[in-house]
Amino acid sequence: MIRLKNVSKLYHPNIVGVDEVSLHIRPGEFVSIVGQSGTGKSTLAKLLFAEERPSRGKIEIGGWDITDIRDRDIPTLRRQIGVVFQDFKLLQKKTVYENIAFALQVAGVTPSRIRDVVPRVLSIVNLDEKLHRYPKQLSGGEQQRVAIARALVHSPKVLVADEPTGNLDSATSVQIMALFQELYEQGKTVILVTHEPDIADYAKANIVLKDGRILSIEEDRR
């Protein structure tokens, strides 16, 4: 599913994002990328959905070499990879329904298809009754659920979540991680980026980064 071979990302003048990273994430895995601030975990995530390009090495997603992906092909890639961010990135002047519909509209999806997809993904995150609310009328956990629903609109095979519980309290974080667990059990490949060990424990394998390199890969053998 996802292969990185000797991938490095360098920032000028001499800042290393990731350094000679090689890994293989198989379809249907639940993997965490763990490390403290500045270890390269967010850079690694950005390389996966082509927000950043590698300075060296090779990246493959589903057999597609995205190392030198063209700008015009990035939307196609991002229909295969759903992305969830720490700060939700919701449009404040649009309702829950409109936020999710907008992600489909920019991809050229027909109105009839939008009317079908939006309620379905809202049902997955248990927000069926709040489709007409605005973000400011929702709790932090509910806003993150909207962000997850938006990431699901194209039925991606892979979900990348970059610090998805960073702005949430512990109880709400548990609820959000339970949702990621459900999506994993339904067959999604889930890649979780976090600095929190308790959150990383939800994954079945932890890729630990330090100074831009893989320090260890710890698999759940329970």
What does the pLDDT look like over 44-83, one tens digit per residue?
A: 999 999 999 999 999 999 889 999 999 999 989 988 999 9
- Least confident range from 10-14, 87-91, 155-159: namely 10-14
Please determine, for residue 43, whether its predicted confidence score (pLDDT) is greater than 80. Answer: yes
- Cα 171 to Cα 34, 69, 178, 184, distances in angstroms: 21, 40, 11, 20
Percent of the chain with pLDDT over 90: 86
Domains along the chain? 23-53+67-80+156-222 (3.40.50.300), 90-155 (no CATH)
- pLDDT for 142 equals 95
Quick: pLDDT tens for 4-13.
999 999 998 7
- pLDDT for 1 equals 85
- 14 Cβ partners below 8 Å, 6+ apart? none
Rounded Cα distance, 154 and 175, in Å = 23
- pLDDT for 14 equals 83
- pLDDT for 13 equals 76
pTM: 0.91
Quick: pLDDT tens for 11-39.
987 889 999 999 999 999 999 999 988 89
Q: What mean pLDDT do residues 160-172 have?
A: 93
- pLDDT for 221 equals 47
